[in-house]
Structure formats: C-alpha cells, structure tokens
Amino acid sequence: MEWLTSYESLSKFLNPSFLFGHDRNNDEASYYSALDMGCGSSSVGLNLARSKQYSYVLNVDNDPEVICTMKRRAEDTDLRNFECDYLMIDLNDERACRAGLYCKVHEDRKFDLVIDKSTLDCLLCSDSAHRLLVETYGCLRGGRGVYCLISFHSKDLIMDILQNNDALNWESIECFRIKREAETISGVKSDTSIPALQSLEPRCNVQIQEVCEISKSHSPPLKALGAWKDGLFEPCRAYATEVNVFICRKAHTEFDMTTKSIYAVGMRLKSHIHVCLDTWFKETNPMLSVKRESNIRQSFQSALSNKGYKKLHLKEVYKLLFEEDEKEHYSFEYFMDDWSEFICNHNDKDKVASHDHNETADVEIALKFLEAMQ
C-alpha cells in the first residue's frame, strides 16, 4: 500500500532520462540499477522493475514479515530479464550492510539510484538517521548516482541536513514540491486538489525547483505553515496534501569503506544532524511558545495565590509545566533527573543558587528549564 504517495506521482522523477540524461541508449536501459531503502509494503521497487527501465532493483527493510510478503508478490510477477530482490537488513549492522547492500549488475557494485520514501523522516525521530545517509551515500555511484528522497519535512530542514557537512558531497540538489496521492486501506487512491503553492527561493548554489498541481479555482497561495503550531501537532492542509521530492546527485567523492573511516564519517554526520534538528525546532517549534508561557504563568499565579509563597514544590511544578499526554512519556522521575542536570549546568549560577532548587522553584526558573529542554 502506498500510504505516502503513489508510484505514478513519482514515476517522472524516477525515469532514467530525467535522472541521468541521454548518455545511454534506450536499448541499454538494462544497465540501470535501483535500491529502495526502507521499502515497507510499497510497490515502487516492483514497479521500477516492471517498467523495464531498471534491470536490477534491490528492496531492503528491517521488518522480516514485510520482506516475506513482498518476496511472494514479486514471485507472482513476470519480470522476465529484470530482477527485483528483497532483503531484510538492519542499517545499524555495518557487517550486514557491507555484505548485502551491493548491486549485482555493476562491477563497482554501486547503484545508480537510491529511493527513500520517508525512511529518513522516520529515522530523524531516532538516533539512526546518520546510518541511513552514510549507507545511502556509500551505495551510490560516484559522479552519477542519485538519491531520491521523498519527505514530509520542510525543504529548509532537509537542505540543512544534506548540506553544510563534510560527510556528504552532492554535486547538486533539486527540490520539487508535489501533490500527494496516497492510497486508503481499501486500496483506493486519495486525491485532493490543492491551489498553487508559494515559490521556493534558491538557496546558496543549490538549484531549487517546484512542480505542483494547479487547481481550476483561483484560490490564494497555500502557505506552508508546517504540522506544528503553538507546541502542538496540528497538521495543516499542506501537510496532508503535499510532499517534497529531493533529487540529490552525488559528486565523485567516495568514502573510504573501512570500518574505522565509516564510523568517523557517521559520527560527524550524527553530530551535524543533531545540530540541524535542534536549531530547526527551536526556531520553528519552540517548546516554550508564547501561548504556553502565558498559560504556565497564569497557572503558577493561580497555584500561589492562596499560599503566600513565590515558589512551588517540584511535584507541583511538574504538573503545571507538562500536558497530560507529555506526562505519559515523561515521568516525574525523568523530570527530576533532567532538573538536577539543568541546575548543575545552568549559566546563571547566582540566580539558581538563590533557589532551594532541590525541592522548589519559582515560575522564572521553571520557564528557563522548559526552554532548555527543547
């Protein structure tokens, strides 16, 4: 099932003539190869093989049941001289990656195309996003390999992650915003028209383009506000109806594929991703939004009004700082661990020292804590 967007909506971006130009005759299309990173139950890889534009397609995922299901589906398809393999692999297992992530049809064992349908989006919520990017870059052919990333995330965030680091060297990156065409559980495509989108401004030397569906109505431009608002997850219309497609063309730079070198590259990239995420969410989705700060100040004032105190016990502070759904994942014990570290590392030592911070806190220091928690 294509929950993100359909193969048809992506087919023009996956066409070799679009990706690689016309340096090879159509009769030689069998030389092209593709790798689908985190394929899940998507049929993109199978459709690429069916299209006869790629002679070898490798689909990888870390879910054994999904891989078994997709293998059976491929076996029921007549691919003739075109091969479509499925492999269960854990990107955190470097030995498995070295043994399994290679192309059968090229002497250099590299792929012409790596497809990523929101796999990076998922891993940015974990601590493994750098592993995906390291393996992706290492699998691509130098000077012509293309990383096609389809993402819900903002263009600016993804650009910051892919650029401005010494681990990934892209010759060019293009960004296309497209209309999302997903499937429901019943297999029926969900298709919602959207008005013209705002133009994307070029960034540095990276080429930014835009492709979008234009509705027949003359609606005002759709402003991409993102899925977060006032610290809460509230998907806007753009989030539900569009995705970004990034076409990243690899430069000639290759990794030293020794374990020590890959580890060093991965650690640098991991640090870079953390900085990008921290900066992005502090600017676009601060945990301490204006609305939230106002609510917390009112709650503190209300709680203190009948007590004649300026400070609350930390158990009360915890209750006022966090929403109920946040408390489900962030217990009071975790809060106390973070609070102790915050107090020790806080720069404003004199102000912190004036508080009996082991048991109580006033609203100002509580807000400083929440701001530091971003």
Q: What is the pLDDT of residues 12-41, one digit of tens each?
A: 999 998 998 855 555 555 578 999 999 998
Question: What proportion of the chain, given as a percentage, has pLDDT over 70?
Answer: 76
With CA atoms as reference, report the closest residue to 51 among 96, 91, 89, 18.
Answer: 18
Handedness of CA 223, 227, 233, 237 (dihedral sign): positive
Residue 229 tokens read as 């608002």
- Tokens 């991991």 map to which residue? 270
- Tokens 């601590």 map to which residue? 127
Q: Would you say 229 and 292 are in contact if contact means Cβ atoms under 8 Å apart?
A: no
DSSP 82-98: -EEEEEE--TT-HHHHH
Answer whether residue 249 shows pLDDT above 60: yes
- Who's near 340: CB < 8 A, 6+ residues apart? none
Summarize the confidence of residues 218-245 as an average pLDDT: 56
Q: Would you say 329 and 316 are in contact if contact means Cβ atoms under 8 Å apart?
A: no
pLDDT by residue (tens digit) across 62-80?
999 999 999 888 887 776 6
Rounded-to-integer distance, Cα 295 and Cα 277, Å: 26
Summarize the confidence of residues 360-370 as an average pLDDT: 91
Q: Alpha helices of the chain — where are they, by DSSP H?
A: 7-14, 16-20, 44-50, 64-75, 94-100, 119-123, 129-139, 155-162, 237-241, 259-284, 290-304, 314-321, 324-329, 332-345, 349-353, 363-372
This prediction's pTM? 0.75
Report the half-sphere exposure of 8 (CA within 13 A, side-chain side).
8
